[in-house]
Amino acid sequence: MELIDRTAGEIAAALQQGRASCAELAEQWIARSQALASLNAWVAFDAPALRAQAAAADARRGRGEHAPLLGVPIALKDNIEALGLACGAGTGALHGRQPRADAELVRRLRAAGALIPGKVGLHELAFGATTNNAVTGAVRNPWDPTRVPGGSSGGSGAAVAARLVPASIGTDTGGSVRVPSALCGVAGLRPTVGRVSGAGVVPIAATRDTAGPLARSVADLALLDGVLSGDAAALPAVALRGLRLGLPRSYFWDDLDAAVAACCEAALSTLAAAGVEIVPVELPGLAQLDGEVSFVVALHEFVRDMGRYLEQQGQGLGLAELVAGIRSPDVAAIVGPLLGAGAVPEAAYRDALASRQRLQALYADAFARSGVAALVFPTVPCIAPRIGEDESFLVNGSAHPTFGTLIRNTDPGSNAALPGLSLPIGLSQGLPVGLSLDGPSGSDRRLLALGAAIEAALPPMPQVDLASIAPGAA
């Protein structure tokens, strides 16, 4: 296996030990990105800047400097501001606009020695789960380029799965890190809301938004979480024997694609054989509470938070102009009415926040009563839809709404501001399947430790055959 196919932690260690040159690796990453340009993962890729950053990293290492990500390239979703790269959020009015400063999380990545080679694609304004974007084009799933990579951080999922970079930073409002992680066969972490700074990130809703990493191992997620949050405490050792995981059969396990269900059940059987106690957990009224919170909070806060963001940018762009520049029909249908008759009333928003408190209490009570460390469920109920199936697609022979189906299992924990982890557990019909763990609020490092133990117990996830996409890419 080539070094560029290994994890971020392994690459960082090889560079630190002098077993590789960052400049030489940069040329390999550049060549692979060029060979796999048909995936459309990158919105912007700055090869000269990557070469310069790599040379600087080699020089720093030569002077004896140490940093956790020194020389490791990390891709950024194109709603995260980084100096030298436009921040377009995948939408017409912002496309090509240059930020005035690094986002706080980018500042932390650079301080840790990370290289920033470019920006990856997203669903327009992060309002969707397919990353079929009418402004920047559809991002393609490396496992099957006719399929979507999930969203809204689809470029992040595709770039990590195709090994264009060892890791990427996405954002997650209702599943936008975990859905592409599952559909692209990589690991992804949604931190507890507030753990990672949102300064310099184009918003949807402050109550729900959080940036989070996608990578090819839980160890890499932990490494990046430590850099992004400042909490780099060592992960505690977790023994699977006696570990209690909650199984919320109702809602999360309903109406799964049969092959996805079989893959997830096999993972549960493997964990049970390793000594994990699978405990039934009930979350009564979950679907209703989630529905009362989800879009009401997101859409009300979008008008408020995006308006503030645009004003702070000082570029003379208002919310009406932003909305007028939306080109993806599905996003225009959601956002367009918000400035007129479709605006969410303040009273409805207050009611939704009250429902959110009840949703959080429901989760807290379930964790307390059951004594489980996390809830376990399929990240997405199905395999990746085909590109173009933006409104609906077939699951078990019946038409299902695309957006609602893809985020069905990730949305409730998002609305409760919980940390969530998606792990790749295998293939169904040649396409990846993800298994999710939702933990109590603030349990991020513990959740990562659980994920690492579970990852070690499950069969290793295969990697995408890059030569099948483009000869010479491997």
**Helices and strands of the chain, counted as H and E runs:** 16, 15
Burial profile 204-229: b = 16 or more Cβ within 10 angstroms, e = fewer: bbbbbbbbbbbbbbbbbbbbbbbbbb
Q: Give 438-470 as a DSSP string.
A: E--TT-HHHHHHHHHHHHHHSPPPPPP-GGGTS
Q: How far is CA 454 from the centre of its chain?
A: 19
Contacts of residue 291, defined as CB under 8 A and 6 or more positions apart, other chains included, come to none
Looking at this protein, which amino acid is placed at residue 213? P
Instruction: Name the strand (E) or helix (H) holding 429.
Output: none
Give the pair of three-digit tokens for residue 200.
């310099």
Q: How far is CA 236 from the centre of its chain?
A: 24
Longest dimension (CA), the chain: 62
Nearest C-alpha neighbor of 296 from the set 353, 357, 230, 372:
353
Report which DSSP code applies to 385. Answer: P
Contacts of residue 402, defined as CB under 8 A and 6 or more positions apart, other chains included, come to 129, 130, 385, 389, 390, 391, 392, 393
Residue whose pair of structure tokens reads 């796999």 in the numeric block: 36
- Does 152 qualify as catalytic in the annotation? yes
Q: What is the C-alpha separation between 91 and 93, in angstroms, rounded?
A: 6
Q: Judge contact between 185 and 161, C-beta under 8 A.
A: yes
Q: What is the C-alpha separation between 370 and 416, in angstroms, rounded?
A: 18
Nearest C-alpha neighbor of 173 from the set 155, 144, 198, 149:
198
Give me the catalytic one of 33, 156, 168, 176: 176
Tell me which long-range contacts 110-113 makes (C-beta under 8 A, separation of at least 24).
Answer: 111/67, 112/67, 112/68, 112/69, 112/70, 112/227, 113/57, 113/60, 113/65, 113/67, 113/68, 113/69, 113/70, 113/71, 113/72
Q: How many Cβ atoms from other residues are within 10 Å of residue 72's Cβ?
A: 28
> In angstroms, how far is the first alpha carbon of the chain from the final one?
10
Q: Crossing angle of helices 104-111/218-229, nearest 10°?
A: 110
Give me the catalytic one of 33, 119, 152, 229: 152
Which residues are catalytic, by number?
A: 77, 152, 176
